[in-house]
Structure 1
């Protein structure tokens, strides 16, 4: 992180004889944090360092030195931290996503894609067609990444949106899907598109995700059953996820 992107540095007591050194970027300076939109858990914070308590004096020295380098604390008008490099690719539950720096491609899996998606065929989106990216953190059998296509109304259900890929257990993990979303956002900004920090804030959907429908839940349970039968999930994990999905109805 360049000093220009730094807003503050804190040092706090951690758990079990540790101290926590945390660098806090200016809002909108880092494309990864912009794409995450506050959804990262503390253990996933890329700017958090846990140290043994006997390093507190040294950590405090560095915290003070870094704080003295801060020149601007307000929101950044552009991304100041280098984005994840391209090309990038990851596997979602319903398809493979690739990005070569200019084009995002979704290639559907017959085993995971909905009938609506599979019928549309594989999708290719040039940067000029896009105005943003929405990343919803993977959590159990949920989560998704949605491309916001100019002039197109998005279905609420990402399973039916050909500009979205959905996550599930073992598919679309944070360390794969979030850098992908961040790379697309940064490319949109550098190409003169809408991938600036202000556009990211403005593009966030105010609506809460729609509750899953019965047929979607039963489809997810069937997929979880396949993972259990394949030995990926234990019976206990399968039953716990099944109960969680049914509770959403």
Structure 2
């Protein structure tokens, strides 16, 4: 990859900040550091105290990004996207689904055709996800999850209890911790990415007396969640994410 190609994907303002931190001097005095060193991704990452291994992985990502984006569409991605993304990526293995999501977000942010779909909050949202939650978003992008469950009715206390799942299309086998599904969905709902409405309720009766209820519900992406997934989920999914570290 040429220096121009690398620099095209690194926001100028962030580079200037990197120079300031590294040299403890204004960006205009950058020549003191050395022009050749300045024009590298390694210098950009150095102030973040990134390991050499991460720098290599990040540069590999930059090479892939420049191949995906035609030169005439390449642009400087917003610093508010690149900054949070790079800070979080240093803590991730490139086998983690979240790494793949950050890669896709950065790629979309550097493309003049897709930048219009990138919301400033996306980098922060990815950083709040677990690998299992990323997997759920990937699968929900394909189809909604349908669930049929039942609850018993305590008539004395006038409350429902004893939740039992009768049918579910949630791909629990893909999750590292399937027992945390309810927690995952609650978290994704709090981020406005997922909703879980009950679409139908049918009383369960015995001898003419209600003893419980059967519910039909769906777990699905919100409109915001669909946009998030379209920008942050790689076209080929998480094929390189071999581990489901939660």
TM-score by length of 1: 0.27
Higher strand fraction: Structure 1 or Structure 2? 1
Larger gyration radius, structure 1 or structure 2:
2
Higher helix fraction: Structure 1 or Structure 2? 2
